[in-house]
Every structure is written in structure tokens, then in C-alpha cells.
């Protein structure tokens, strides 16, 4: 049932634009569980991965790996993330394995407009988070 719901959401999202006019590109991956990869125009470096189950629609974007964090600043960054959680609308920080993420969750009964709003906010929040947290990250080589 979750795969069917995800397939329907992908179908409903195709040809949609975000409120700011940006286009979405969506691919579905089947594996242990079905996942849709949503790429927002002009934000391609931070795709959003969407899964669906009976309890929620979960949208996740990977920010950076633990190995990219300046070791001496890791605790300070974790504190900053906790504080930012309240100020970032409809998104929250977490960690999967060694990857820091930003995610948002909706009811599986959410409308397509609500889902589009979540995708837009999450995409914008990722860029804001990266900008804010860049002081805790090693320089890219």
C-alpha cells in the first residue's frame, strides 16, 4: 500500500511547480522500501528523499557527513542545531548513521498543496541550514 501511495504522490507531483515557480524532478527507487528522489530546480545539490507509510509522509535531505565537521566544533554545532530546530519552520535536524539530515513529516492524508509547501520549505531550510552551519565544517578541498 505504501508503494502505491508513493506512486500516486509522484504522479500528482509531476508537472507541479513550487510557489516560487521552481520545477521539480522526481525519480522513484525501489529497494528495501520505495523512495522518491525529488530534485528542486536550482537546489540540485540537496535532493529530497520521500517515503510513505501508514503513519506519515517523510521527506529527508542529507546535509553533510560527520567527517566534514571540524572535530573541536562538533558539540557546539549540535547545540546550534538544537536551537535552530525551533526556528526552522516545519523541519528538524537529525542524524542517520554518520550523515546529518534535515527532515519534515506530514500526514499521509496531506493534500498535494501541503506536500508542495513542505518540499519548498525543506529545500529552502536546507540552504539556510548549510549557510548557518558552514562555520562548523571543514573547508572543501
d(CA 54, CA 50): 14
DSSP H/E element including 29: strand 24-29
- Give 68-95 pLDDT, tens digit per residue: 999 999 999 999 999 999 989 889 999 9
DSSP H/E element including 69: none
| Residue whose cell numbers read 500516486 | 8
pTM of structure: 0.89
Q: Spell out the domains of the chain, with CATH numbers in brackets.
A: 2-136 (3.30.1460.10)
Return the closest-CA partner of residue 35 out of 18, 45, 47, 22: 47
- Give 42-75 pLDDT, tens digit per residue: 888 999 999 998 899 999 999 999 999 999 999 9
Amino acid at each position: 500500500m505504501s508503494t502505491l501511495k508513493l506512486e500516486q504522490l509522484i504522479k500528482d507531483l509531476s508537472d507541479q511547480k513550487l510557489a516560487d515557480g521552481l520545477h521539480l524532478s522526481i525519480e522513484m527507487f525501489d529497494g528495501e522500501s520505495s523512495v522518491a528522489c525529488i530534485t528542486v530546480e536550482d537546489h540540485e545539490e540537496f535532493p529530497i528523499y520521500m517515503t510513505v507509510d501508514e503513519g506519515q509522509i517523510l521527506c529527508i535531505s542529507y546535509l553533510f557527513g560527520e567527517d566534514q565537521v571540524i572535530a573541536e566544533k562538533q558539540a557546539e554545532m549540535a547545540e546550534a542545531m538544537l536551537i535552530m530546530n525551533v526556528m526552522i519552520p516545519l523541519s528538524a535536524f537529525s542524524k542517520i548513521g554518520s550523515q546529518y539530515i534535515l527532515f519534515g513529516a506530514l500526514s499521509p492524508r496531506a493534500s498535494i498543496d501541503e506536500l508542495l509547501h513542505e518540499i519548498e520549505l525543506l529545500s529552502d531550510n536546507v540552504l539556510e541550514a548549510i549557510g548557518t552551519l558552514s562555520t562548523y565544517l571543514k573547508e572543501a578541498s
